[in-house]
């Protein structure tokens, strides 16, 4: 077997040129394989196929042979635990709100209508910005009840409305999101 053919089969090369041209393009778990002759523009054979599993090679060193400083430490992530939301105790903003307005604020946060990178109030599934009508429908309010509540939230600067993006934004100093806490920490 020629060296180029062996390298192709081991996955070290993506194309070889022998009597035929054999090439592949990898995308995710699939490969596009193409067989053609050097003089022809059209391929003889081409197809999408599931990517074959790699040939297992002998490991260079085992964990026992590595010094302890070279072993990577595991990342500390939430690990499947539900994230938490911290609501800051800002007396100026939250203390002035009515019970309905604070309930709507808590419902927006707990339902997951806040995009935490930007603070934008969005629909969780479609990622579109929520309007007054959409917020009212989502929270089970009539439009006549929803408008004054959102007006109260914007006048107390808990939410702000951006006309250019046509979206409501939650005040970044008011609420923060964190990863899930482990049970053994206090």
Q: For residue range 7-56, what is the model confidence (pLDDT) as tens digits?
A: 777 777 777 777 777 788 878 778 888 888 777 777 777 888 777 666 66
Structure tokens at 6: 């062996």
pLDDT for 135 beyond 80 = yes
Residues of the chain with CATH 1.10.10.10: 84-178
pLDDT interval class at 92 (50, 70, 90): confident
User: Model-level pTM?
Assistant: 0.52
Phi-psi map region of 60: left, alpha, beta (phi>0 left; psi -120 to 50 alpha): alpha
Q: For position 129, what pLDDT does the model report?
A: 92
CATH top class, domain 84-178: mainly alpha
Q: Which of 136, 121, 123 is nearest to 170 (CA)?
A: 121
Q: For position 48, what pLDDT does the model report?
A: 80
């Amino acid at each position: 077997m020629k060296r180029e053919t062996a390298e192709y089969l081991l996955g070290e090369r993506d194309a070889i040129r022998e009597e035929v041209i054999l090439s592949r393009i990898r995308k995710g778990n699939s490969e596009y394989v193409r067989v053609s002759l050097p003089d022809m523009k059209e391929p003889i054979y081409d197809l999408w196929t599931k990517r074959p599993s790699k040939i297992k090679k002998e490991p260079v060193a085992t964990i026992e042979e590595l010094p302890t400083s070279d072993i990577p430490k595991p990342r500390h992530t939430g690990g499947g635990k539900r994230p938490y939301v911290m609501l800051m105790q800002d007396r100026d903003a939250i203390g002035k709100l009515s019970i309905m307005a604070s309930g709507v604020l808590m419902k927006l946060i707990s339902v997951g209508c806040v995009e935490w990178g930007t603070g934008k109030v969005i629909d969780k599934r479609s990622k579109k910005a929520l309007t007054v009508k959409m917020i009212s429908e989502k929270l089970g309010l009539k439009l006549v009840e929803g408008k004054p509540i959102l007006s109260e939230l914007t006048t107390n600067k808990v939410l702000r409305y951006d006309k250019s993006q046509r979206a409501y934004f939650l005040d970044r100093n008011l609420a923060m999101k964190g990863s899930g806490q482990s049970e053994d920490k206090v």
